[in-house]
């Protein structure tokens, strides 16, 4: 009977770091698109609205992800000592996650138009989104249809901007039968 050989701890560390680096680079790419997708702020043609958040708004928007990142930063340290993996991989892991946290906290640009929502460098058709039944006080919560528990899409910003965006979203959903 042949035994299955598991990869070395170092090989596995390189593999998971490569995956994390890919995720961080992917998010960085989408972040660079937001300025191009939402070049102007304020009222837009067709009753749309565009706004930018600040770092504090992103903390409110991303609080759950920030706690997840903190847990992920501590996770490898117990495994490193148990598996005799070189410490450098834990340092690289934490460095990549710290970079990702910076991305999460960077101010973002948002826009609502009659056909799309622009958030996090991506464009979502209204037919792919719905408003959450219970709305938080300091952000707008949309849900991506078909994503289940991975579907929340919170929007950040100051009170005035979120109020303007809520009114624009309400107008677009009143004229769009796909919002149900």
Q: How do residues 95-119 score in pLDDT, each as one tens digit?
A: 999 999 998 888 999 999 988 999 8
The closest of 128, 140, 163 to 49, measured between CA atoms, is 163
Query: In angstroms, rounded to a whole number, what is the distance separating the alpha carbons of residues 130 and 29?
Result: 26
Classify residue 26 by burial, with Cβ atoms within 10 Å: 0-12, 13-18, 19+. Answer: exposed
What residue ranges do the domains of the chain occupy? 9-179
Residue 127 has φ and ψ, to the nearest 5°, of -65, -20
Please provide the average confidence, as pLDDT, over all residues in the chain. Answer: 86
Is residue 173 helix, strand or coil? helix
Residue 145 reports pLDDT greater than 80? yes
Q: What pLDDT score was predicted for residue 1?
A: 57
């Amino acid at each position: 009977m042949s035994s299955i050989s598991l990869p070395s701890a170092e090989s596995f560390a390189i593999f998971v770091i490569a995956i994390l680096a890919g995720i961080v680079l992917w998010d960085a790419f989408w972040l660079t698109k937001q300025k191009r997708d939402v070049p102007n702020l304020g009222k837009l043609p067709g009753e749309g609205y565009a706004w930018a958040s600040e770092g504090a708004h992103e903390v409110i928007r991303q609080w759950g992800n920030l706690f997840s990142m903190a847990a992920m930063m501590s996770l490898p340290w117990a495994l490193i000592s148990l598996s005799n993996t070189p410490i450098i991989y834990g340092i690289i892991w934490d460095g990549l996650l710290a970079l990702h946290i910076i991305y999460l906290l960077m101010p973002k640009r948002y826009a609502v138009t009659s056909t799309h929502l622009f958030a996090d460098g991506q464009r979502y058709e209204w037919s792919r989104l719905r408003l959450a039944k219970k709305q938080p006080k300091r952000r707008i919560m949309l849900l991506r249809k078909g994503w289940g528990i991975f579907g929340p899409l919170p929007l950040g910003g100051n009170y005035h901007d979120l109020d303007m965006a809520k009114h624009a979203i309400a107008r677009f959903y009143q004229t769009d039968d796909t919002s149900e």
